[in-house]
Amino acid sequence: ADEAVDDSKVRRAARVIGNRVHRGGGEPVSQNEARKALSSGNRDYFDPGLDLAIRVGWVVVDKRAHPRTGEIHEVLLPGEVTP
| 41 CB-contact burial (10 Å; exposed 0-12 / middle 13-18 / buried 19+) | exposed
DSSP SS3 for 60: strand
Report pLDDT for 1.
56
Over range 65-74, report the average pLDDT: 89
Mean pLDDT of 41-64: 96
62: nearest Cα among 76, 72, 48: 76
The amino acid at 23: R
Rounded to 5 degrees, what are φ and ψ at 61? Answer: -100, 135
Task: Report the predicted TM-score, pTM, of the whole model to 2 decimal places.
Answer: 0.88
Residue 71: predicted pLDDT: 92
pLDDT at 72 over 60: yes
